[in-house]
Structure 1
Amino acid sequence: MSGAIRLIPSGFSLIDKNWGGIYRGGSYVVLGPRKSGRTLLGLQFALEAAKGSEVCVFFTLMRPKDLMIQAASINFDIQSYMNQNLIIVVRIAPPTDIDDLYNPDDYLVEYLNDIITVVNQYHPTRIIFDELTPFIGFRNLDYLKDAFLHTLETIEEKDITSLFVIGEPATQRAQSIVDIVTNYVTAVIQLKKTDKSEDRYHGGQVVITPNVGHTEGRFTNTYQIVPNKGVTVELAPELRETSDYTFTPINQRRFDQTKIDLPSEPYAFSNIYNYNDFLLILNNQIALYKSTGQTFNLVSFKLDHAAQMKGLVTIQQLQNSVRLSTNKKDKICLIENKVIVLLVRGNAKSVMDLTVSIQNNLPNQDVRYINTVSELISIFNIEVDDKVENAESMMDFIITAENSASENYLPLSKYNS
């Protein structure tokens, strides 16, 4: 992701009012039953892009004429924007008879790969996929996780803001699939349709729930589908909630990790992962090395407990210094008193540059302070080689290195000398 992360209008007032918009390069899911306003919300998202002269790709299962009629219902002349090449409509036929195939998951993953192909062709700033449900019915949920995460990260690296429309799950297995997808996006917009309405407009309840950033929290409101306006919220006050999420992330942490404090900046990079997600990314990086020879480094920064006891620096401050010193493509994981970094194109120089940058991003730039803290932050670096078997063994090695007589952490002060 290039440049600073910033907020942009979403076209939905509940989000724009309470969150200030959506993140450029963020990923969002609209979840809800049929006729709940999912497609209209996607069209509002596209209209907001077009009004700002941004290129938006709209993947749809609908016939072009039907999509135009839907857009016209919210006073959106989609054809005029299509003529200007600001809206690119890509119609996709849903997969059929895939159960007869030897491996239907391989067939489905090609649809996800096609998203990347279209993105590379049109270079949009936003994409909407309405709807994704037929294309994520994988038998192997681990395969779905890998494929969707690869698609998502490829899109994010290009600073493209994405919105995926997904149907409300009707079975436990469908719920498991939805959990995987919603676990990796920036936020979820859930529409809960109700048959009861206080006036002539139908609607229901909408819940916006952040996974990453949007530190204002979760909001709930009633919504209506109004002609010429689309999905809008009523004037009833929003109800801020802090617990009882509608969807539950599927990954469970292996270690008791230190709570991550959000940085004071208005936006937080999304390259901080929990242990299980970090393992998944690391395994993908190992596979890439074995197939292409592209090397990488796994670097651990350990904070001595004395640093926190003396009030010099906390593990959250060290993590923030690391975050400010890494690129979006690099990945970070916090485990107890260690901040572990995957440098996806690492080498000896990039590791050295990272250590210098971390020192420059410490909370105090007094020379004596930096010298003192550099004695209390230690580094252990591994460059991938043919001996590496998998992510688990690589992580175990770097986590337990401090207990080894031959593999020791070095203080930053000595590593840089």
Structure 2
Amino acid sequence: MIGSKINLVPTGISLVDGAWGGFYRGGTYLLIGPRKSGRTTLALQYAMEGIKNKEICLYFTSMRPKDLMIIAASIEFDLQTHLNNNELVIVKVTPPMDVYDSGNPDSHLLEYLNDIVSVVEQYQPHRLIFDELTYFVGFENMNLLQQAFLRTIESIEEKNTTSLYVLGEPATPFAQNIVDNVAQYATAIIYLQKNQNQGPNQQGGRATITPNIGHTEGQFTADYSIEPYTGVKFDFESKNRFRRSAETPAGGSGFPGEAPGASSFQAAAEPGNFPGASLSSKYKPLSDVDAVPQPMSVSNQYTLDEFKLILNNQIALYKSTGQQFTLISLKLDTSADAKVITINQLQNAVRLSTDKKDKICVEKNTILVLMSKGDEKSLNVLVAKMKTNLPNQDPQYLKLAMSYIFAYTIIANDRIENADSLLKEIID
């Protein structure tokens, strides 16, 4: 934004902090490298630095939570403590490998990217880490990938969230094309190369940081090693001192060639100088139109009326073909402490724990889940997944949170007449 401060935030990645002074607040950064090159360790260092600076961090991971905690413990980063303090939110994501066998994987991947934005909107973090993004950007249509990724990062950048996305090192020309299409929209890229000649007890390699936008100090390269209790350590010594913000010159737009104190925007704002000032009075500039933000839609979540229609269709299908279904109702006790769990947190846990083909409806403090198969164990499976997607994995927290949630399951049977009568006994 012209005339405003662009803050640099410390990253905990010494090469970045020493060479550039940090990341731009609200920027989008990529961390690319092969497996076991230190990607997750660097991502955790970035999260840890944010927490040191009183920032909320949202961490998407495809790893088991316990495995992530072990890696964090190796750099003396106590994830559980920060989870308990609500300074860190960990969201477990499952790589969508099954979508690549479908007829149109791009449409499914598009939904996943939309879901990332929805979770960011819910938690409003200062920092976002996605470890790793590779499986979620395997689009066949490169134009659609560009549009979808750009829309995703712009939605997140608008919230001033500083993002770090982890990507695997491309092993094929197709994978390289995907990385190239994603990388062009990043503020900068961190690229890790493992040292192929290192011994069995050595870990490290060479890192290169390359700016796309800003960071006029330029590209830097340094050797690095992964040290116990320290993390990724770079062989780099900064000779520069950085300010934590960059500000445009007072009275100017900061564009080259503009005289100090002159502003073309100020001149344009004078009466009669607006573009289109000579147009008929029937027209008005869009600057006078109030923008009404629309909530991000979730692909398998429906309004109550839409849900009733789908449920009636499912009931009709059962009566004509015998195709069973399961309806699960989850009700959050109104006495639930907001510090323990909210309806939004429960909704997010349910959404992340269900398949795309399942239908979800939220009505007041009740969440309805319609599954297109009749299975008495559906609730057990759902609860097991929900526990891994709640904001905190501490056993005591899970026990307390679950005590506020009540479930009611209905499997298709001949006594069911229609959606209205079925939902009447579920929703107060």
TM-score range, shorter chain: 0.5 to 0.7
Amino acid at match of 2:190: I
Contact 1:213 1:267 in 2 (8 A): no
Q: Distance in 2 between matches of 1:380 and 1:100?
A: 52
CA distance in structure 2 between the aligned counterparts of 1:162 and 1:382, rounded to whole angstroms: 44
Q: Does 1:355 align with 2:268?
A: yes
- SS of aligned partner of 1:11: coil
| 1:44-59 matched pairs, under 5 angstroms | 44-59=45-60
1:317 counterpart residue number: 257
Give the 5 Å matches for 1:113-262: 113-197=114-198, 200-234=201-235
Code of the aligned partner of 2:22: G
1:26 has 2:27 as partner: yes
Q: Determine the C-alpha separation between the residues in 1 that align with 2:118 and 2:97.
A: 22
Amino acid at match of 1:77: D
SS at match of 1:44: helix
What fraction of aligned residue pairs are identical, expressed as a percent? 49
Q: How far did residue 28 of structure 1 move?
A: 0.4
Distance 1:81 1:210, change over 3 A: same
Pairing of 1:379-390 with structure 2 (within 5 A): none
The structural deviation recorded for 1:355 is 1.6
- Report how far residue 18 of structure 1 moved: 1.2
- CA change 1:27–1:315 in 2 (3 A) is closer
1:121-161 per-residue CA deviation (whole Å, 9 max, x = no partner) reads: 11100000000000000000000000000001011111000
Q: Higher relative contact order by CA 8 Å / sep ≥ 6: 1 or 2?
A: 2
2: CA distance between counterparts of 1:191 and 1:119?
27
In structure 2, how many angstroms separate the alpha carbons of the residues matched to 1:324 and 1:153? 27
Cα separation, 2, equivalents of 1:354 and 1:102 = 55
Matched residue count? 269
Report the 3-state secondary structure (helix = DSSP H, G, I; strand = E; otherwise coil) of the residue aligned with 1:317.
coil
Distance apart, 1:96 and its partner CA: 2.3
DSSP-derived class of the 1:97 partner: helix
Deviations 1:288-324 (A, max 9, x none): xxxxxxxxxxxxxxxxxxxxxxxxx998335999999
The offset of 1:196, in angstroms, is: 2.3
Trace 1:41-80 onto structure 2 (pairs within 5 A).
41-80=42-81
**CA spacing shift, 1:179–1:319, aligned 2, 3 Å:** farther
Whether the aligned pair in 1 keeps the contact of 2:5 and 2:246 (CA below 8 Å) is no
Helix, strand or coil: the match of 2:76? coil
Contact 1:8 1:22 in 2 (8 A): yes
- Cα distance in structure 2, aligned partners of 1:197 and 1:14: 21
Q: TM-score w.r.t. structure 2 length?
A: 0.57
Give the TM-score taking structure 1 as reference length: 0.59
Note the residue ranges of structure 2 that are not aligned, 5 or more in a row: 240-244, 280-428
Q: Give me the whole-angstrom Cα distance separating, in 1, the residues matched to 2:132 and 2:209.
A: 19
Q: Aligned AA for 1:233? A: F
Please say which structure displays the higher CA radius of gyration.
2
The amino acid across from 1:356 in the alignment is A
For residues 191-235 of structure 1, give each alpha carbon's deviation from its aligned partner in whole angstroms, at most 9, with x where no partner exists.
000122489531000000001111111000000000111111125
1:189 offset after TM fit, Å?
A: 0.4
Q: Does 1:266 align with 2:246?
A: yes
SS of corresponding position for 1:121: helix
| Equivalent position SS for 1:196 | coil
Between the aligned partners of 1:78 and 1:22, the Cα distance in structure 2 is 23
